[in-house]
């Protein structure tokens, strides 16, 4: 059964068709939720809740959007609701982190300021602590873009806003993350050399 046929059948209450959709997307949804909340047990519970929500919302799904984008929007909103109710101290990252995630965490905090915060954090758990201190919406857009590599167009659909708004929010989220790092660890960048009067820089 292809995806469109499975969606049509699931919207009519076919549980086997919906099970096929769950099997197709549960790993990606779980990975997204785990990146947001940190704890595997919580991520498993939230992922189940997300698919239950999606099942009952299927009759309202519009075919002009990709199903996975629609599902991601449900997952993201569910995670935001969860995070808004939780104090950051209750959300340590105790789940294992893949090598790819480790690289992405390091890249996020090691790139130039024009694109990403300028820091030298190389530890995934350390970055997770920083992410837990910024606004949940800012954490969400960083996870979607930097850790999962979602293109701007997909972000616009998931977040239900124009691409330019996505870019603006992403820049603010990067600045917020950088501010948290500087507050905790200080500015690790060398100070820019002072230009003397009459001096011409190369």
Closest listed residue to residue 128, CA positions, set 168, 89, 162, 70: 89
pLDDT of residue 147: 85
Residues 151 and 117 in one domain: yes
Q: Do residues 109 and 156 share a domain?
A: yes
User: Is the CA virtual torsion 22, 27, 31, 37 positive or negative?
Assistant: positive
CA dihedral in degrees (177, 165, 140, 57; nearest 10)? 170
For residue 83, the enclosing domain spans 3-89
- Residues 157, 154: Cα–Cα separation, whole Å: 5
**pTM of the predicted model, to two decimals?**
0.73
202 residues of the chain, pLDDT tens digit each: 688 899 989 988 899 999 999 999 999 999 999 999 988 999 999 999 999 999 999 988 887 778 999 999 999 999 999 998 875 444 444 444 444 444 444 455 444 344 444 444 445 667 777 888 899 999 999 999 988 899 999 999 999 999 999 999 999 999 999 888 888 777 654 444 545 555 554 4
Establish if 202 belongs to a structural domain: no
Q: What is the 3 state secondary structure string of 36-62?
A: HHCCHHHHHHHHHHHHHHHHHHHHHCC
Question: How many domains would you assign to the chain?
Answer: 2
Do 108 and 148 lie in a common domain? yes
Task: Report yes or no on 112 lying in a domain.
Answer: yes
Residues 48 and 111 in one domain: no
Q: What are phi and psi of 74, to 5 degrees?
A: -60, -45
* Domain stops at, among 89, 106, 140: 89
Q: What is the pLDDT at residue 188?
A: 56
102, containing H or E segment: helix 99-108
Tell me, yes or no, whether 79 and 105 share the same domain. Answer: no
Predicted confidence at residue 1, as pLDDT, reads 63
In a domain, 174, yes or no: yes
CATH number of the domain where residue 10 is located:
1.10.1740.10
Cα dihedral across residues 13, 17, 20, 25: positive or negative = negative
CB 133 within 8 A of CB 142: no
- CATH number, domain at 172? 1.10.10.10
Q: What is the pLDDT of residue 87?
A: 53
Q: Apex CA 145: angle with CA 141 and CA 150, to 5°?
A: 120
Is 178 domain-assigned? yes
Q: Is residue 180 part of a domain?
A: yes
In a domain, 27, yes or no: yes
Residues 101 and 153 in one domain: yes
Provide the b/e sequence for 53-70 (b: ≥16 CB within 10 Å).
ebbeebeebeeeeebbeb
133 is a domain residue: yes
Do 104 and 81 belong to one domain? no
CB atoms within 10 A of CB 156: 18
The whole-number pLDDT of residue 127 equals 74
Retrieve residue 101's tokens.
């995630």
Q: Does 195 reside within a domain?
A: no
Answer yes or no: do 104 and 125 share one domain: yes
Q: What is the DSSP string of 53-96?
A: HHHHHGGG--TTS-HHHHHHHHHHHHHHHHHHTS-GGG----S-
**pLDDT value for 2:** 85
């Amino acid at each position: 059964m292809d995806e469109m046929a499975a969606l049509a059948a699931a919207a009519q209450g076919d549980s086997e068709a919906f099970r096929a959709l769950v099997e197709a997307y549960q790993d990606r949804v779980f990975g997204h939720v785990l990146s947001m909340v940190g704890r595997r047990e919580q991520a498993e519970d939230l992922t189940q809740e997300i698919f239950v929500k999606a099942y009952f919302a299927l009759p309202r799904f519009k075919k002009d959007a990709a199903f996975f984008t629609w599902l991601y929007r449900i997952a993201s909103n569910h995670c935001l609701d969860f995070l808004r109710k939780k104090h950051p101290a209750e959300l340590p990252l105790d789940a294992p982190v893949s090598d790819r995630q480790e690289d992405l965490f390091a890249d996020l905090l090691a790139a130039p300021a024009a694109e990403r915060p300028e820091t030298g954090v190389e530890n995934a758990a350390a970055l997770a602590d920083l992410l837990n201190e910024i606004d949940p919406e800012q954490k969400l857009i960083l996870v979607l873009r930097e850790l999962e590599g979602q293109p701007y167009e997909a972000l616009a659909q998931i977040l239900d806003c124009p691409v330019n708004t996505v870019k603006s929010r992403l820049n603010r989220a990067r600045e917020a993350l950088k501010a948290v790092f500087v507050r905790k660890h200080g500015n690790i960048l060398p100070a820019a050399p002072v230009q003397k009067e009459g001096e011409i820089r190369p």
